[in-house]
Every structure is written in structure tokens, then in C-alpha cells.
């Protein structure tokens, strides 16, 4: 009787939660309603978690003697995990968002993998289909955990360079296959054992060890510029694992939330890959960047350095400016100085807009968030398709910390590794200023012909320092002229 | 009346299919400018896994199960709380160039720079 009431309450709460998740995500599709979207989804989460605490009244007979200990463990885990993640998430700088999303996603994958592990170790699955789904949930969750952890370490620059060794693809494939074979063996022993032949614990440890290793190995060789794709793949993977766990635990809220995220993550992954003109498997398995070690066509012309103050004053008297931010802006934490400079230009009646490339930065849309943090109104921010045609009629393109996304080789040079990638046509502007830390290639190691063009001048220096000089130069002109 | 949920075979596949389609349609409408908050938001939504973690831990009956279950809840709780915290922060920053936006700008600006120091 009591357990039936609990089922009624948790069932209703899960239904409400599933609806609120969908509605919340729907609200996130416009910048105006988005802030309320996360609160709607948050309410759904709260309802689901609180109601499901009632499950303490429905535990298995085998778990009854342990219930008191389990409740204490659950309370400690909830408080510890939630408070640590909450305070970290509140305190961290906006520029570090990609690694935070990576690590929180990894935690979700780990939780999904751990749930599958408990079901398997406790031999709680009934029937072959449930066993297979549990193994899949465990596999995907564990790969997502270890893969996201490596992605986090790369984004946090704990791991500085992509790790590559000869035969890496072969080793990766072998480890992944081995995990699948062990999983298959577990299914085989159970299905042909007649009576529920238990998969022994040691085989399960091997299974999870291999899957964790596979996640690490797959992620290690991937370069930082490919991180937008990697993060969204693991986001989708965690969603899928959660959905599978939902089936095993007979919880439709997990099934729905997991699958929605799985589909959303897949869509986003495809969008990112398309923005780089590469397939998802190419990102994961091709060790991007190796090709660039080959000889490239000679650059024609020379890089012409100019003073930041001169560039700043030139822009002050231009009619229109398009700013192209890249990852270098995030590294230099210069987003607020950039907007300060842009506000001076706006005050001087210069038409200023921002052009954001889909894969600029280290996660999808990272530049949009950085500009928003600095206070840039989102109606000044334009995406590639919306603004690309306007470069030809623009006086100045100001490229800050971006490189590959403005490399004309993507349009013209068939031998370039980025050939075919849609780029921002900064080179079409009448004048181009490139703010860069120093001479040298971008993250992917590809030379950029843009820097050598006649209409392009280089402003060397840390983005923040350069912008301060530009601001001072424009202010130095006096407000009388600006008005 | 029995309220225990039982989802088997085709019903599960139907739920998965409809949910995946729903996710695809809803997210397909999101403008690129919101891709980061959206990813972070969906990251928060799969934090519902903590509910499964709690269920599993409550039903744990050996030290191995209790240990792994503990980590399931720990990680799931981290996913939920962290995912919410960062998404909420990001979304709070989006504003238009309208008058109201400028009025609140100074305040938000101060807050974020204070945090960094």
C-alpha cells in the first residue's frame, strides 16, 4: 500500500519534471526567454529529486538492513557533490566555461556509468535486453566520464599538447573492440548459462577498466581547436547513457531527459562539424594538424606591424567596423576592454558590429557568451551567414585573437587542411587590423595569407594591452571631436 | 490500482524515439548565439541521472554497491548543481541594446569583476 502511494507520487513528479525539462529547453531558444528557461528546468529537477527521495520506502528486501547507512551515504554525497560543484560554478571566470561544462558533463556520464555498474555488480538486471541496455549505458557513461576528464584537462591546459604516437588509431580501436568483446562475453555467458549465470565481478571490473581507458585514448590525440565538437559529442553521449539507465531503472523521466539531450547533443555536434567542413569521424580519428606539418605554399608579401594607437585612431574615423573575436580574446581576458573600445567608437558614430564564427573558441558559441559577459548587447552580434556579405562594404575588419576562421586559404588553397571550411571574409574589408600576440601560426599550425595582404596591418601584443592603448589614443583625441 | 511503472520492449523504443525527435526539433530552433548556454542547459537536464543514482544507492546491499552508488550520487549531484550554476550565470548576461539593459549593466559588470579578483 505504502509503496503504491510512493509510486503514484514519484510517477506524477517524474511526469511534471519531464514536461518542465522540455518546456524549459524550449524557452531557451530565444535570448529573451532563455533565463526563465533554465529556471523552469531547475524547478522540474527539484520536484523530481524531492519526490524520488520517497523511494526510501520502496527498497528491496535485500537492501532493508543497509537502509540507514545508505540514507546517510546519500545525504553526504548529495550535499558534498552539490555544494562543491555549485560554489565552483559560481566562482569560475566566464573564460573557463568550456572546461566547466566538460567536467560537469563528465560527472553526469560517470553517474550514469556508476548506476549501470551497481545494477551489474548486484546482478539486478532481468533478461537479456535489460542486460544489453545496462552494458551500453555503462560503456557510454564510462567513456563520457574519462573522455570529458581528458577534455577538461586539455581545456584547463593541464595537458598542453595533443598526445600522439605511431599506431595510435590501431591501439584505440583495439581497446574499444576489447571492451565490446568483454561486454558481448558477459551477455553470452548469461544467455547460454540457462540459469542466471552471474557475470563474475572480475569480468565487470575488466569491462569498466577497458571502457574508461577507451575514453582517455580517444580524447588524448584531439587538438584544442576541435574541442567544440568533442564537448558536444560527450554531452550527447552522457544523455544517451542516462536514457539507457532510465530504461533499466524503469524511470521515464530519465529516459526522456536523456534522449532529448542525446538528440540535442547530436544535432549540435553535426552543426559544429559542418561549420568546420569536416565529418565527425574526421574530428575524432584523423589527428588534425598533422597535415599542416607538410610544406605549404609560400606566403606572398610581408607582415606589416603598426602601432595600436594608430590603428585605434584609424578606426575612430572609419564609417564602419566589424570586430572578429577569437580564442585569443578569451585567453587575454580582454572582452571587457574590447567593449570599452567599441563603446568609444559607437559614441563617435562608427557603425560597429561583431562577427562570430560558429567554432571560434573552445565550445559552441563561446564568443557569444564572452561578449555577453562584457555587456555587448546581443543585437550587435552577428553570425557568419548574416554578416559575411557585408565585409566588402566595410571600412575596417578588426581581428582579435582569431586566426583559422579568417584564413582565406579555406576558400582558395585546395592543399590546405582547412580547405572548404566556411570562413569570415575579413580579407574583403577595405582595411584589416589583426591583433595577435606575436608572429607565428595559429593553433592548427596553418600559415595565414591574410596577414601578408596589402590591406592588412598587424598589431602585435597582448589583446588587453593593445586595447588599452587604442582606448587611450581615441580618448586622447578629445570628446569635442567625438561628439 | 497499481501505479508502479513498467516499460518494456516497444513502449521503451517509442518513448526513446519521440523524446529524441522532440529534442531534435526543440534544439533545431535555437540560434547559434545561444549554443553555449543551450549545451550547458542540456548538460544540466541530464543531471536528472542523480535521481537514478539515489534509487540505486537506496537499494544497495553490498559494500561494492554502496561505494559505487555513493559515487553515482556524488557525481550526479555535481552535474545538477554545477550545470545549473553555470547556465544561470551565462543566461543572466544576455541583454539587448535597449534602455533597460543599460540600466542593469553597471551592476552586473561590477559583480563579475569582483568575482574574478
Whether pLDDT at B112 is above 50: no
Question: Cβ A122–B28 below 8 Å, yes or no?
Answer: no
d(CA A306, CA A308): 6
pLDDT of residue A447: 80
Helix (H, G, I), strand (E, B) or coil at A460: strand
Q: Lowest mean pLDDT: which of A78-82, A169-173, A241-245?
A: A169-173
Query: In a mutagenesis test of the B interface, which of A212, A259, A339 is the best target, namely the one with the most B β-carbons within 10 Å?
Result: A259
Q: Other CB atoms closer than 10 Å to residue A411's CB: what's the count?
A: 15
Residue numbers of B between 38 and 97 with CB closer than 8 Å to A: 38-62, 64-66, 68-97
Choice between A437 and A339, residue whose per-residue pLDDT is larger: A339
d(CA A429, CA A455): 8
Task: Give the one of A60, A129, A262 whose C-beta lies nearest to B20's C-beta.
Answer: A262
Q: Is B103 on the interface with A (CB under 8 A)?
A: no
What's the average model confidence in pLDDT over A390-408? 92
Q: Is B15 on the interface with A (CB under 8 A)?
A: yes
* A302–chain B nearest CA distance, Å: 35
CB-CB neighbors (< 8 A) of B21 in chain A: 263
d(CA A111, CA A257): 15
d(CA A115, CA A112): 5
Question: Cβ B76–A84 below 8 Å, yes or no?
Answer: no
C-alpha distances out from residue B6 to A11, A63, A368, B12, Å: 11, 21, 44, 10
Cβ neighbours for A66, distance < 8 A, ≥ 6 positions apart = B60, B61, B66
Question: Cβ A55–B55 below 8 Å, yes or no?
Answer: yes
Residue of A nearest to B98 (CA): A377
Helix (H, G, I), strand (E, B) or coil at A279: coil
> Three cell numbers at A385?
551567414
Reported as a pLDDT band with limits 50, 70 and 90, residue B115 is very low
In this predicted complex, what is the ipTM? Answer: 0.85
Give tens-digit pLDDT for B28-84.
878 888 888 888 999 999 999 999 999 999 999 999 999 999 999 999 999 999 999
DSSP code of residue A349? T
Do B109 and A375 contact (CB within 8 A), yes or no?
Answer: yes
User: Between chain A and chain B, how many beta carbons pairs sit less than 8 Å apart?
Assistant: 428
Question: Cβ B55–A70 below 8 Å, yes or no?
Answer: no
d(CA B49, CA A6): 19
- Selecting among A404, A427, A457, A462, the annotated active-site residue is A404
d(CA A207, CA A158): 28
Residue of B nearest to A142 (CA): B72
Task: Give the one of A21, A100, A266 whose C-beta lies nearest to B82's C-beta.
Answer: A100
Task: Give the one of B1, B35, B55 whose C-beta lies nearest to A364's C-beta.
Answer: B35
Using CB atoms within 10 Å of the CB of residue A178, give its burial: 0 to 12 exposed, 13 to 18 middle, 19+ buried.
middle
d(CA B1, CA B4): 9
d(CA A73, CA A422): 51
> Three cell numbers at A1?
500500500
Looking at the DSSP bridge assignments, the partners of residue B57 are: none
Q: Lowest mean pLDDT: which of A246-250, A252-256, A389-393, A437-441?
A: A437-441
pTM of the model: 0.85
CB-CB neighbors (< 8 A) of A21 in chain B: 45, 48
Q: Is there a catalytic annotation at residue A404?
A: yes
- C-alpha distance across the termini of chain A, in Å: 78
Query: Starting at the edge strand that comes first in sequence, how are the strands of the sheet with A351-356 ordered?
Result: A381-383, A351-356, A320-325, A396-400, A431-436, A456-460
> Three cell numbers at A451?
596577414
Helix axes A67-91, A97-121, angle to 10 degrees: 170
Using CB atoms within 10 Å of the CB of residue A393, give its burial: 0 to 12 exposed, 13 to 18 middle, 19+ buried.
exposed
* A355–chain B nearest CA distance, Å: 11
Cβ neighbours for A205, distance < 8 A, ≥ 6 positions apart = none
Do A287 and A370 contact (CB within 8 A), yes or no?
Answer: no
Helix (H, G, I), strand (E, B) or coil at A459: strand
d(CA A40, CA B88): 11
Give tens-digit pLDDT for A44-96.
999 999 999 999 998 888 888 999 999 999 999 999 999 999 999 999 988 88
Q: In 3-state terms, chain A is what percent helix, strand and coil (to 5)?
A: 65, 5, 25
d(CA B107, CA A165): 50
Give tens-digit pLDDT for A283-317.
777 655 444 444 456 677 788 889 999 999 999 99
Q: What does residue A193 show for φ and ψ, rounded to 5 degrees?
A: -80, -5
Amino acid at each position: 500500500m505504502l509503496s503504491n502511494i510512493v509510486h503514484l507520487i514519484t510517477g506524477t513528479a517524474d511526469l511534471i519534471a519531464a514536461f518542465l525539462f522540455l518546456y524549459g529547453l524550449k524557452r531557451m531558444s530565444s535570448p529573451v526567454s532563455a533565463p526563465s528557461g533554465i529556471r523552469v528546468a531547475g524547478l522540474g529537477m527539484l520536484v523530481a529529486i524531492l519526490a524520488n527521495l520517497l523511494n526510501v520506502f520502496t527498497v528491496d528486501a535485500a537492501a532493508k538492513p543497509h537502509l540507514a547507512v545508505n540514507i546517510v551515504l546519500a545525504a553526504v554525497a548529495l550535499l558534498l557533490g552539490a555544494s562543491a560543484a555549485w560554489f565552483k560554478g559560481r566562482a569560475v571566470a566566464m573564460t573557463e566555461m568550456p572546461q566547466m561544462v566538460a567536467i560537469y558533463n563528465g560527472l553526469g556520464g560517470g553517474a550514469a556509468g556508476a548506476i549501470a555498474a551497481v545494477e551489474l555488480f548486484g546482478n539486478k538486471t532481468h533478461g537479456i535486453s535489460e542486460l544489453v541496455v545496462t552494458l551500453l549505458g555503462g560503456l557510454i557513461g564510462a567513456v563520457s566520464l574519462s573522455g570529458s576528464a581528458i577534455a577538461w584537462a586539455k581545456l584547463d591546459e593541464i595537458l598542453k599538447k595533443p598526445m600522439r604516437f605511431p599506431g595510435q588509431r590501431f591501439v584505440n580501436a583495439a581497446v574499444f573492440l576489447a571492451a565490446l568483446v568483454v561486454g558481448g562475453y558477459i551477455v553470452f555467458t548469461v544467455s547460454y548459462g540457462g540459469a542466471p549465470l552471474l557475470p563474475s565481478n572480475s569480468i565487470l571490473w575488466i569491462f569498466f577498466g577497458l571502457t574508461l581507458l577507451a575514453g582517455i585514448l580517444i580524447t588524448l590525440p584531439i587538438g584544442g581547436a576541435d574541442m567544440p565538437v568533442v564537448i558536444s559529442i560527450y554531452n550527447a553521449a552522457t544523455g544517451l547513457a542516462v536514457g539507457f539507465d532510465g530504461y533499466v531503472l524503469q524511470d521515464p523521466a530519465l529516459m526522456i531527459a536523456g534522449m532529448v539531450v542525446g538528440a540535442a547533443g547530436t544535432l549540435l555536434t553535426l552543426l559544429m562539424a559542418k561549420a568546420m567542413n569536416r565529418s565527425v569521424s574526421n574530428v575524432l580519428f584523423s589527428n588534425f594538424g598533422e597535415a599542416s606539418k607538410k610544406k605549404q605554399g609560400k606566403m606572398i608579401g610581408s607582415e606589416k606591424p603598426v602601432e595600436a594607437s594608430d590603428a585605434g585612431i584609424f578606426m575612430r574615423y572609419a564609417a564602419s567596423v566589424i570586430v572578429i573575436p577569437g580564442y585569443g580574446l578569451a585567453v587575454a581576458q580582454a572582452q571587457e576592454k574590447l567593449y570599452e573600445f567599441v563603446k568609444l567608437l559607437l559614441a563617435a558614430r562608427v557603425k560597429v558590429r561583431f562577427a562570430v564564427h560558429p567554432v571560434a573558441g573552445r565550445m559552441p558559441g563561446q564568443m557569444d557568451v564572452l561578449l555577453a559577459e562584457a555587456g555587448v548587447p546581443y543585437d550587435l552580434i552577428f553570425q557568419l551567414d548574416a554578416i559575411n556579405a557585408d565585409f566588402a562594404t566595410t571600412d575596417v575588419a578588426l581581428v582579435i585573437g582569431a586566426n583559422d576562421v579568417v584564413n582565406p586559404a579555406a576558400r582558395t588553397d585546395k592543399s590546405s587542411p582547412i580547405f572548404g571550411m566556411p570562413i569570415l571574409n575579413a580579407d574583403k574589408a577595405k582595411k584589416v587590423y589583426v591583433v595577435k600576440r606575436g608572429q607565428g601560426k595559429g593553433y592548427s599550425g596553418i600559415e595565414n595569407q591574410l596577414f601578408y595582404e596589402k590591406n592588412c596591418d598587424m598589431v602585435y601584443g597582448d589583446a588587453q594591452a593593445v586595447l588599452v592603448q587604442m582606448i587611450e589614443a581615441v580618448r586622447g583625441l578629445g570628446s569635442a571631436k567625438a561628439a | 490500482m497499481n501505479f508502479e511503472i513498467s516499460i518494456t520492449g516497444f513502449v521503451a523504443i517509442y518513448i526513446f524515439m519521440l523524446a529524441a525527435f522532440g529534442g531534435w526539433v526543440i534544439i533545431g530552433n535555437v540560434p547559434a548565439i545561444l549554443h553555449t548556454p543551450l549545451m550547458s542547459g542540456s548538460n544540466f537536464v541530464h543531471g536528472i541521472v542523480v535521481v537514478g543514482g539515489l534509487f540505486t544507492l537506496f537499494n544497495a546491499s553490498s559494500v561494492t554497491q554502496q561505494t559505487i552508488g555513493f559515487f553515482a550520487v556524488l557525481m550526479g549531484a555535481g552535474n545538477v548543481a554545477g550545470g545549473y550554476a553555470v547556465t544561470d550565470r551565462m543566461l543572466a548576461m544576455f541583454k539587448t541594446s535597449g534602455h533597460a539593459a543599460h540600466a542593469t549593466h553597471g551592476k552586473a559588470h561590477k559583480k563579475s569583476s569582483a568575482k574574478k579578483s
